Chains A and B, each alone.
Chain A
Amino acid sequence: MLIRHGGDLTENDVTPRDVYLRRRDFMSGLIGGGLALAGGATAGAEAATGLKGIASPYSTKETPTGRADITGYNNFYEFGLDKEDPARNAGSLKASPWTVKIDGHCNKPGTYDIGDFLRGNPLQQRIYRLRCVEGWSMVIPWLGVPLADLLKKYEPTSKAKFVAFETLYRPSEMPGQRRAVLDWPYREGLRIDEAMHPLTIMAVGLYGESLPNQNGAPMRLVVPWKYGFKSIKSVVRISFVEKQPRTAWNDSAPQEYGFYSNVNPTVDHPRWSQASERRIGEFRRRETLMFNGYGGQVAGLYSGMDLKKNF
């Protein structure tokens, strides 16, 4: 199949030398004062506003979708099935305190406070395209940390072939979980090389603020070359596993939602075309790009694989 190379990186996207040389200052500054979210999780996630992130060469130059749309049009079934439900209902979620359980094939399993989990990693701004499997897309200015930097600390062993993720299960705060629309808790998974890819981030904020609950507070995965449902929200568990883990939508309809779920305009969803998408805020549909336009960076992960079979 045709794999289009070349994302939107140019010579100009390389971090300027002076910024690069000052990176340690930035990091120490961040750790010293600015890491309100990570360090001061006790202060409550909503207090951690005014986040800043280092600009990243992985960011797109496209105009970000408006904040109101990003925070008002969400698929987060834990808070209801309509796109407007999460913004309405997610206020009940207590995103702080928050712990994440790390288990499976690694040398340092345990349950960690989110502050400890994130500590020592400067935030980056990643402006990414997000393509929903339903045929719409956005451009979102995330703030986050490369997942690889977070995971390496736990020293995954050679048996860690996949990484499995779980969303919080707390029906008292997540009213959508009181109905078995999906087999709760929401589960997702990546192959270890996908998880460690530099484009994959754990996001803790957007538009210069900590994540609103409806966007997956306090932290959610962002895998920009895959359909949005792979980017699991409100993560409480990360497991290093040997076998391909089960995932929520694949459990629900295996013939429709594959484990990989890479954005691919040539492989239609069984019920609708994936050739085009509507960018939120635009009128005319636009063509969907292979790997959501990130083929230059990620196509190599799948060389030799039949992407029609491994959809």
Chain B
Amino acid sequence: MDRRALDRLVYGLVWLACFAPLLWLAWRGFNNDLGANPIDKLIRELGVWGLRLLIVGLAITPLARILKQPRLIRFRRTVGLFAFAYVLLHLTNYVVTDQWFDWAAIGKDILKRPFITVGMAAFVLLVPLAVTSTNWALRKLGPVRWRKLHRLTYLIVPLGVIHYLMLVKADHQPPLIYGAIVALLLGWRMWEATRKRINRPARG
């Protein structure tokens, strides 16, 4: 297999891995296998998968550096856009199937329920990142500004974890595990940034 075909195959596999949870949910929904409260189940599953993919997206850069595999970076956009798709479906399900466009109730939720306020903030911040994910937008913004804008993920992902943590009733373990991973990934970035700053004057 030549390099190009292999690339395409790997890319296809990544794409499929991101798409699989949605297919699985759709399949279960279609077969009436989402339990007694399918709307609640669907919203939760979509939210959790959105968060998982956001975290995977956040892990790609450190992995690429640590494993010295810079080409991993090319999956960042796919993973990030899939994360956005899950989050968007999560929100859509809340607005449509759960609340049935009851805008008054939704507005109250956003203002009065801190976990929804936080989730909504994370979504709003995620939108510009999805919108500027095209090559055209990258060119238009220029790499420096683009990179600055996309550092919003360092805020968005923790907000997603907090959103999850705040809605849990008794078992805080799953959101705390996600939180620990995010802390590790952001901690690595801070450590990297500090190291670079220290190294730079030495070089100059």
Which A residues fall within an 8 A CB radius of B?
Answer: 68-69, 72-73, 77, 81, 83-84, 134, 136, 181-182, 252, 268, 271-273, 275-276, 278, 280-281, 283-285
Contacts and interface: CB of A to CB of B under 8 A. Distances in A.
B6 interface: no
Contacts, number: 51
A65 to B, nearest CB: 8
Contacts of A284: 100
A136 B166 contact: no
- Chain B, interface size category, equals 20 to 34
Interface of B: 35-37, 39-40, 97-100, 102, 105, 108-109, 112-115, 166-167, 169-171
Which secondary structure characterizes the binding site on chain B? helix
Contact of B36 (A72, A81, A276): A72
Contacts of B99: 285
A278 B43 CA distance: 14
B177 to A, nearest CB: 14
A271 B113 contact: yes
Contact of A73 (B37, B98, B108): B37
Given A271-B166, A273-B108, A273-B109, A136 B171 contact: no
A150 to B, nearest CB: 30
Contact of A278 (B39, B113, B114): B39
A284 B39 CA distance: 10
B171 A280 contact: no
A81 B37 contact: no
Prevailing SS type, chain A contact patch: loop
B35 A83 contact: yes
A294 B40 CA distance: 26
Contacts of A280: 36-37
B35 A73 contact: yes
B170 A273 contact: no
Given A278-B40, A280-B37, 15 more contacts: A69-B36, A72-B35, A73-B35, A83-B36, A136-B37, A182-B170, A271-B113, A271-B115, A272-B109, A273-B105, A278-B39, A284-B100, A285-B98, A285-B99, A285-B102
A67 to B, nearest CB: 11
Given A182-B170, A252-B170, A271-B114, A276 B105 contact: yes
Contacts of B102: 285
A280 B41 CA distance: 12
Contact of A83 (B37, B39, B115, B166): B37
Given A268-B112, A273-B105, A285-B98, A77 B170 contact: yes
